[in-house]
Structure 1
Amino acid sequence: MHTLLAVGVAIILFAYFILQALLHSTQNKREPRLLEFTVPFLDSAIGIMRHGASYLQNLRNKHQVSIHTLRMPFQRLYIVHAPHLIQIIQSKANAATFVPNLLDFGILFSGLNKDAQISLRKAVSVQGNGFTISVHKYLLSGPSLNTATKAAIDRLSESLPKSFTDNHQEGLLELVRHELALALTGAIYGPENPFNDPEIEASWMGFLPGISHLLYSPFPYLTARKALRSRSRVIDAFKKYFRTGGHLQAFPMISEMYEINKGHGIAPDESAKLELATSLAMLSSGGITTFWLLFHILSDAGTMRSIRDELYAVAKDESKNGDITRRTKVLILNGIKESCPTLLAMLNETLRYHSTVINIKEVQHDTTLAEQYFLKKEAIVMIPGQSVHHNTDIWGPSANTFDHHRFISAEFKKNLASTSAFRPFGAGVTMCPGRHFSTNVILSLVAMIVVQYDVLPQEGQWVTPTKRNADLWNAMPKPDWDINVRLVKRVAEKEVEWKFVWSEGATVV
């Protein structure tokens, strides 16, 4: 027995020293610093599993490096923290050297078969990312963005009075995530929206935890079987959606993407899997962002009063059929970005403070960054948004503190235009093209809640949830626990009928 134990220990030690030797012998001395590893090639995966979205920021804080190397099996990662290096990578001069790489992620979590993967890779290499091109076309700006936003707002206006009843009790995250999910997907997928079925919405929520397993687990089909069964139910719902022509009644972007995929030789059932990417783009961060935005507003009485005052100031007071005892207030939501500076500042600070977005690019050929760091071909460059958003050189000594007042001052508002300082939606060609659609609807939902309800924590006080278990792949970190709240219809609003309008003819961004 002792002999077997000794042999086992000897084998483990031998393997360890071999891996350490392999790790360092394959690392060029001019590459960014290789952080020491306890378990060669596996430390990064272990660190991500243990610390989630905070892992890369923790490394930066611990080692105080501008750029460093992480090694994983068959893959090297260069993690870039310094703004001056980020600017070089993002420059037009380097556009052909550092190429966005999100295709593998989409293929991985959607479960495309091999034929569809080949067709999609060929299409992207020749014509670019069809999904991103379509979203840019329809949701970045202009009348089509206006149409989609109005459809989502109309859905919220109809559903909120039914869901947000007086003394209703529920988790704040669940409450807003459900409303936002139905509004966003309803606007895009139309009347046959698969998410209208509560079982499909629940299956989607059941699938999300499986994404981390698909990314990091060597055996996801064993470790995430329940989540992958949920994925299958969502895919089956989209197969039915396309078979029955649901896409023909949807926002035109959906039918156009379907036809583009068909033209690339992607079978209809495989196109159904690609809708997981569309759904993830809409649903991964919006509800969580709304949760954090509402948490910071609701837990700060002074800020709440300021935002209510701003919203009341832009609302129109109308009587209903001459009845002065029953008033109607109309809030035209198109203008709140311009007319409600405190609300907008709270949104921007929520995005800055909480965002864990990571920009990912692939190195196309051996290159030297800033005449100092050698980067190898096919390595992955990762730019963690947290390193930028919590950089005291950019945001001052309070960078690690939530303070929405920074975005009321002109000094910091100018940073909103710089993706080297403010990047919650990514940067460059991969910058989220649906960001205006999402923020329009998020701000509208928050405005509807704030003017009509007092939202009270059932525990008696607001306690900030931790974010230790947040997923690295998500641009916004999910709280480790929900906050149970009670909705109370405001006394002053019980005799008021509120109407929330997104004007058809407005020019919006």
Structure 2
Amino acid sequence: MFVIYSLGTRISWMVMDLFNLLTIAVLVLAIYYFLQFLTPKLDPREPPLISAKIPFIGHVVGLLRYGVPYYAKASAKHPLHPLPAYTLDLFFTKLYVVNSASLVSAVQRHHKTISFDPFLTAAANRLSGITGDGLKLLQETESGGGGINNKVLHSMHPALLGPGLDVMNKNMINNLKASIDGLESGQTSFDLHQWCRHAIGVASTDAVYGTLSPYKDQDIERALWDYESNLSVLLLRILPKITARKAFQAREMIVASFVKYYEAGGQENSSQMTYGRWKTQYDAGATTEDIARLETAAGIGILSNTVPSTFWTLFEIYSRPELLGRLREEISKNALHVDGSSAIHTVDLADIKDQCPLLLSTFQETLRLRSNGAPTRLVYKDIVLNDQYLLKAGRVLQMPSECINRESSTWGATSSEFNPSRFMANGEQKPTNRATGFMSFGASPNICPGRHFATGEIVAMVAMLLLRYDITPINGHWIRPKLNPRAIAASVTPPIEEFRVTVWPRKEFKGTNWAFSVTEGKGRYPLVTG
């Protein structure tokens, strides 16, 4: 009797389980077809679709897990890989990915139809926390806004591409030298990336913000990196006080410090760039808090790529003894000047620009292989790109640098290899589409405005360190540290783990007094831009 009862109980539970499973299956199918109904259908003229293993959310999960490198993984799954362009399903929308330099110029020709401007507004909202009338003031004019975001960008050009660049370079160099001199005391060990972060951070922010720079406070300096390293959840804008607590609190701390900065008149004794950014917004009627919020996000723009670019340039050079020797010889011969009376050794930045092609080429080759940014655009209206692909209005388009920068049709059979002389005049033959095949500074007309300032800072630090110091990893091996996928603001991904090194002053320069010189009007570098 017990056996029959037990069997009957099992059967009844099995029937209930089967009923529950059928109910769940029906619900899943209903949700699936409902989502299919909501998801825009792909026109056969659009770039081919790359399907995800998990419908609707698979690509979203992949991008959250891997960041921009996911594009290369997704592309490799298509039977016709490599595709010049393809489409990804991202939940209720579709994303176009341009994967080839041959199409970049076509995107650029349609810059009024395929525009970056809406993302400036989105960044002001999601990154900076600007809302309401302040956001409307910044919004692009095509969407009914005041267009101030674009005007702020244009206000920076005299400081970053003209006379103002000389002043910023001089201030930056003085601070940089202090950090480099600090290594002179003898053998010392530290995390190389963290050292670059502080040295570049101090040099950059003091040059940009002047004597009252909020980043002179170490708590604010730390807050910037807490903010920068935890952006992904903040950008989702889902209860950020709770879900993105660390980034949210760090941002609000920096905002408060900038409000105090402006109230104290810090912009009056800052760089031409900072003053121009402030005045453009102030004259347009922006509140002090909104100006402070926009400047908080600017800190990410100033440092998030410069720091890891410095680290990786040093890594690539010091890990190659033959290249290290060649660069030391080039800098010593062409950019180092010794005063006969005082014996001061001076490194001239203008000479680095004009007479150290291997150093500049090595720097750009580092960017080419280390960049993983993805210049982003919004399609305003339906167009046919390059007489080849239909792009529909409202879709987002991205151009991942990791794929384009390594394209063999642009860079040749060795496109995935590190070649320090690749960007030299006598280096490998350059195809005509080389510029559109190099996305490390973005894609025209939205090129990184601070590229010359950042380049001057990086090559100055690298040149001085190469001449003055030997650097060796603690473990004796130049093994690439793990990368930080959470640093989504950085198009050059920083390490997520320590990379400890030992630093010794070179014996031949023991007791030498060092200096930098900045020749007026020669702060712009011959960089390749997309």
With the shorter chain as reference, the TM-score category is: over 0.9
Equivalent pair of 1:190/1:250 in contact (CA under 8 Å):
yes
Note the residue ranges of structure 1 that are not aligned, 5 or more in a row: 322-326
Deviation at 1:411, TM superposition (A): 5.5
Deviation at 1:9, TM superposition (A): 4.3
| Partner in structure 1 of residue 229 of structure 2 | 209
Equivalent pair of 2:300/2:489 in contact (CA under 8 Å):
no
Equivalent pair of 2:137/2:148 in contact (CA under 8 Å):
no
| Partner in structure 2 of residue 317 of structure 1 | 338
Q: Distance in 2 between matches of 1:114 and 1:230?
A: 22
Equivalent pair of 1:120/1:264 in contact (CA under 8 Å):
no
| Structure 2 counterpart SS, 1:41 | coil
- Cα offsets for 1:251-270 (capped at 9, x unmatched): 12212221211222211111
| Partner in structure 2 of residue 279 of structure 1 | 299
Equivalent pair of 2:473/2:501 in contact (CA under 8 Å):
yes
- Cα offsets for 1:110-152 (capped at 9, x unmatched): 1112221112116665566022202222202x32111111110
| Structure 1 counterpart SS, 2:375 | strand
Deviation at 1:473, TM superposition (A): 4.0
The 3 A distance-change label for structure 1 pair 416 and 368 is closer
Normalising by structure 1, we get a TM-score of 0.92
Q: Distance in 1 between matches of 2:368 and 2:387?
A: 31
Residue 457 of structure 2 corresponds to residue 441 of structure 1: yes
Higher relative contact order (CA 8 A, sep 6+): 1
| Structure 2 counterpart SS, 1:420 | helix
Equivalent pair of 1:416/1:422 in contact (CA under 8 Å):
no
Residue 211 of structure 2 corresponds to residue 167 of structure 1: no
Q: Distance in 2 between matches of 1:76 and 1:202?
A: 37
| Partner in structure 2 of residue 110 of structure 1 | 128
Q: Distance in 2 between matches of 1:502 and 1:416?
A: 33
Q: Distance in 1 between matches of 2:304 and 2:193?
A: 13
Normalising by structure 2, we get a TM-score of 0.89
Equivalent pair of 2:230/2:486 in contact (CA under 8 Å):
no
- Cα offsets for 1:322-366 (capped at 9, x unmatched): xxxxx4212112210222222112101001111112111111111
Deviation at 1:280, TM superposition (A): 1.5
| Partner in structure 1 of residue 67 of structure 2 | 52
After alignment, is 255-264 or 343-352 more displaced?
255-264
After alignment, is 343-352 or 477-486 more displaced?
477-486
Paired amino acid for 1:37: A
Question: Which of 102, 109, 134 pairs up with 2:155?
Answer: 134
Spell out the pairing of 1:72-221 with structure 2 (5 A cutoff): 72-91=90-109, 94-101=110-117, 102-103=119-120, 104-121=122-139, 126=147, 129-140=150-161, 142-162=162-182, 165-216=185-236, 218-221=238-241
Aligned length: 500
Paired amino acid for 1:38: K
Deviation at 1:211, TM superposition (A): 1.4
Deviation at 1:373, TM superposition (A): 1.8
Equivalent pair of 2:234/2:247 in contact (CA under 8 Å):
no
| Partner in structure 1 of residue 472 of structure 2 | 456
Paired amino acid for 2:89: R
Equivalent pair of 1:315/1:331 in contact (CA under 8 Å):
yes
Q: Distance in 1 between matches of 2:149 and 2:262?
A: 24
- Over aligned residues, Cα RMSD in angstroms? 2.3
Residue 420 of structure 2 corresponds to residue 404 of structure 1: yes
Q: Distance in 2 between matches of 1:415 and 1:181?
A: 37
Residue 310 of structure 2 corresponds to residue 290 of structure 1: yes
Question: Which of 382, 385, 394 pairs up with 1:369?
Answer: 385
- Cα offsets for 1:272-299 (capped at 9, x unmatched): 0010232121111000000100000111
Q: Distance in 1 between matches of 2:452 and 2:185?
A: 29
Residue 55 of structure 2 corresponds to residue 35 of structure 1: no
Deviation at 1:159, TM superposition (A): 3.2
Equivalent pair of 2:60/2:91 in contact (CA under 8 Å):
no
Q: Distance in 2 between matches of 1:439 and 1:342?
A: 14
Question: Which of 507, 511, 517 pairs up with 1:495?
Answer: 511
Equivalent pair of 2:138/2:147 in contact (CA under 8 Å):
no
The 3 A distance-change label for structure 1 pair 22 and 121 is closer
| Structure 1 counterpart SS, 2:345 | strand
Deviation at 1:164, TM superposition (A): 5.7
Paired amino acid for 2:279: E
Note the residue ranges of structure 2 that are not aligned, 5 or more in a row: 1-15, 526-530
| Structure 2 counterpart SS, 1:111 | coil
The 3 A distance-change label for structure 1 pair 417 and 244 is farther
Q: Distance in 1 between matches of 2:68 and 2:140?
A: 32
The 3 A distance-change label for structure 1 pair 125 and 360 is farther
Equivalent pair of 1:407/1:413 in contact (CA under 8 Å):
no
Higher helix share: 1
Deviation at 1:502, TM superposition (A): 1.8
| Partner in structure 2 of residue 358 of structure 1 | 374
After alignment, is 172-181 or 464-473 more displaced?
464-473
- Cα offsets for 1:433-471 (capped at 9, x unmatched): 110011011100111111111111001111022437264
Whose radius of gyration is greater, 1 or 2? 2
Q: Distance in 1 between matches of 2:140 and 2:424?
A: 47
| Partner in structure 2 of residue 324 of structure 1 | none
| Structure 1 counterpart SS, 2:103 | helix
Q: Distance in 2 between matches of 1:312 and 1:167?
A: 23
Q: Distance in 2 between matches of 1:504 and 1:190?
A: 20
